[in-house]
Amino acid sequence: MPRARPLTVLVHGGAGGKKPTAAQRSCLTESLISGMHILKTGGRSIDAIEVMIRLMEGSGLFNAGIGSRLQLDGRKRMDAALMEGANLKAGAIASIEGIRHPISAARLVMEETEHVLLVGHHATRFVRHFKVEKDRLGSSSHRQRIAPLSRGKERSKTLKLFRALTQYETVGAVALDSKGTVAAGTSTGGYSMMLPGRVGDSPLIGCGVYADNTCGGVSMTGKGESIIKLALAKHILMDMKQGNSPHVATRKAFRELVQRIQGEAGALVLAPDGRFSIQHTTRWMSAGFWNGRGKPRVADQFH
C-alpha cells in the first residue's frame, strides 16, 4: 500500500527588526488552518497557497495587499508570484496598483497567459479584464501622508531610524499536497518610501520564490536586493538537490548571504518528503507551520 503523503503548510509574515504583533500571529494561524483545510479536502498545493496568501493580503496587517506600504510618490504598488513544482508552472506580477489580492493576479498570469511576469500599468489592465477584486481604499487619498517624511533636514536621520525599526512584512507560503506536489508563493508592497519603479525579489522566479517537485519549495522575505544577487530561492533548492536537508541548505545559503553581501533574509523551505526549515538572519520572523496534526505552531523567532 502506498505511503500517505505528508500534508504540510508553512506561512510567513515577514522578517526584520520589529517584533510581530499578536494580531499578525493570529492571522498566520488562521492562514495555516485555511491552507490545511484545502489540502485535507483534496485540494492542490497551489490552491492552498492562494488561499493562505489572500487571507494575509486582505487582513491589512502585513505589507501586502491592502496593507501595502506607500512609495515615495505616495502610491501603493504591489508584487506577487507563485509557482507549482510538478510542471514548473509560474506566474508573477510587479508594480500593480489598485488590486486587493495580487497573488490571485499572479495566478491569472500563470493560468491565462503563456507568460510568467507582467509589470506596471499593463499588468493592472490585464488583471482588471478578469474583474479581480479592487482595493477600494486605493492610494491617491493617502498621498499627502508621506510628504512630511520625504523632505526636510531630518529626512536622512528619520528614514534611517524608521528602516532600522521596520519589518520586511512580505507574506508568503509553501505547501505540499497529497499528490506530492510542492507549491510556493509570495506577495509584497515592497518597503516604505522606496523609489517608484523599484522591484524586489518577490515577483522574480528563482529569487523570492521557487518550487520544483524534484527538490522542494521556497518562499523568501527580507532585503530584496541581496536576495536577488544570490537568486536565493533557487540557490537553496539546488543545494537540496545535491542531497542536503532543508536546514543545512538554508543555513549554508544564509551564511553566504551575510558574509558576501551583508544581506538580511528569512525563508520557508519545504522538501517533497515533508521535511522543512524556517530560518532568518534578522532578529524576528513571523512564521508558522502545520502538518494537520495537533495544533498549528506560530512563532516570531526560529533557530
Please list the active-site residues: 170
Determine which helix (DSSP H) or strand (DSSP E) holds 286, and give its type and residue range: strand 284-290
Cβ atoms within 10 Å, residue 208: 34
Retrieve residue 8's grid coordinates. 504540510
Neighbour-count burial for 257-290, b at 16+ CB within 10 Å, e otherwise: beeeeebbbbbbbbbbeeebbbbbbbebbbbbbb
Tell me the C-alpha distance between 17 and 68, whole Å: 18
Q: Sign of torsion, CA 90 121 56 287?
A: positive
Nearest to 286 by CA among 31, 7, 66: 31
Distance of CA 156 to CAs 150, 162, 196, 226, 264, Å?
A: 9, 10, 18, 22, 21
Tell me the C-alpha distance between 225 and 218, whole Å: 17
